[in-house]
Amino acid sequence: MTWGLKRQLFYIGVLVVFFLVLGFLVIFPYINEIPSCTDNRQNGNETGVDCGGSCSKSCTFEVDKISTLWSRTFQVIPGRYNAVAYLENHNKNTAIYKIKYKFRFADKDNIYIGKRDGETFIPASGKFAIFEAGIGVGNSIPVYTTFEFTEMPTWNKVPEDKINQLKVLVSDIKLENQNVSPRLSATIKNDSLFIIPEVSVVAILYDEKGNAISASRTYLDVLAEEESKEINFTWPEPIMGNVIAKEIIPMYNIFLAKLK
């Protein structure tokens, strides 16, 4: 082997070592990366891609779907309606921060007459209501109302101690002047040390057969820790039917509730 050939082999060897070292430095951070819940890979103790295990997000296949128990419209005045979807989240410790939905309305002949899109949160565990106010469908009368979510949900875990501590109580429910100018009043209390912003309170009235015959909604900008407030619902026209039961549902995004 000549001296020139040895020199060439030496330089080739140096280049090979250089590229091997360079390649190792580039690849090493990826093969030695600490698993995280935002790396678009299933690793660590995850049960899916960036979900399950110790991640805050739950995998879709690990949770039960939300049940729509009923959806319907209620006349406020001729030509104006409120729509309510009554649902149930069967998952105890998981909730949804934000999800889009759609109401659709049809007349007695099942002819499509309108829709209403919206966005909401889903509370953890239990029954809840989604309310849309002031729906106009011209001279048509909505007889059939359907409700659906229009995007895949992103489920997030909620600490069990937060669920157990957050208690919003409703008492002193009274309905007055049902046949003239109906007014429903109640007391709502935040029985916790959390500050709860943007509380939407839905009221549903039922007849002796358990059918919902009317609904209304009111808002509270914030419900401070251990605070009680009087809430009121009014209707511009008499409520037709015999009101036997009154249900008041406080709605708030559990992810926004914070300790002071």
At position 127, the amino acid (one-letter code) is K
Choose among 198, 191, 189, 69: nearest CA to 129: 69
What's the average model confidence in pLDDT over 132-138? 93
Give the pLDDT of residue 37. 87
φ/ψ bin of 207: left (φ > 0), alpha (ψ from -120 to 50), beta (otherwise): beta
Tell me, yes or no, whether 170 and 244 share the same domain.
yes
Judge if 47 and 72 occupy the same domain.
no
Question: Where in the sequence is the domain holding 49, given as residue range(s)?
Answer: 3-56
Residue 36 has pLDDT above 90, yes or no: no
> pLDDT band for position 42 (50/70/90)?
confident
In the prediction, which pLDDT does 113 show?
96
With bands split at pLDDT 50, 70 and 90, how would you rate the model's confidence at 253? very high
Same domain, 74 and 97: yes
Least confident residue range of 1-5, 118-122, 162-166, 192-196: 1-5
Residues 6+ away with beta carbon under 8 Å from 128: 86, 87, 88, 89, 122, 249, 251
Pick from 131, 139, 101, 160: nearest CA to 219 = 131
258 and 170 assigned to the same domain: yes
Confidence bin at 40 (pLDDT 50/70/90) = confident
Same domain for 90 and 108, yes or no, is: yes
Across the range 46-68, mean pLDDT stands at 91
Residue 224's pLDDT band, with cuts at 50, 70 and 90, is very high
Tell me: do 260 and 185 sit in the same domain: yes
Query: What pLDDT shows up at residue 14?
Result: 54
pLDDT above 90 (res 108): yes
The answer to whether residues 135 and 202 belong to one domain is no
Average pLDDT of the chain, as a whole number: 90
pLDDT band per the 50, 70, 90 thresholds, residue 46: confident
What would the two tokens of residue 177 be?
A: 């002047």
Of the three residues 40, 56, 72, the one that is the final residue of a domain is: 56
Which one has a higher pLDDT value, 46 or 181?
Answer: 181
Q: What is the pLDDT of residue 39?
A: 83
Please tell me the distance from the alpha carbon of residue 220 to that of residue 187, in angstroms, as a whole number: 12
Task: Encode 82-102: b = buried (16+ Cβ within 10 Å), e = exposed.
Answer: bbbbbbebebebbbbeebebe
Please indicate, yes or no, whether residues 151 and 193 belong to a single structural domain of this protein.
no
pLDDT of res. 44: 82
Note whether 232 and 256 are same-domain residues: yes
Look up the CATH number of the domain holding residue 91. Answer: 2.60.40.3230
Give Cα separations from 158 to 82, 145, 163, 206 (angstroms).
31, 32, 7, 32
Q: Of 135, 158, 181, which marks where a domain is finished?
A: 158
Same domain, 99 and 77: yes
One domain for residues 211 and 121: no
Residues 74 and 105 in one domain: yes
Out of 47-61, 135-149, 197-211, 232-246, least confident range: 47-61
- Look at residue 2 and tell me whether its pLDDT is greater than 80: no
pLDDT at res. 33: 60
Lowest mean pLDDT among 18-22, 85-89, 151-155, 201-205: 18-22
Radius of gyration of the chain (CA): 28
Out of 1-15, 56-70, 122-136, which region has the weakest mean confidence (pLDDT)?
A: 1-15
3-state secondary structure the chain: CCHHHHHHHHHHHHHHHHHHHHHHHHHHHHHCCCCCCCCCCCCCCCCECCECCCCCECCHHHCCCCEEEEEEEEEEECCEEEEEEEEEECCCCEEEEEEEEEEEEECCCCCEEEEEEEEEEECCCEEEEEEEEEEECCCCCCCEEEEEECCCCCEEECCHHHHHHCCEEEEEEEEECCCCCCEEEEEEEECCCEEEEEEEEEEEEECCCCCEEEEEEEEEEEECCCCEEEEEEECCCCCCCCCCEEEEEEECCCCCCEEC
- How many folded domains does the chain comprise? 3
**Average pLDDT of span 146-161:** 95
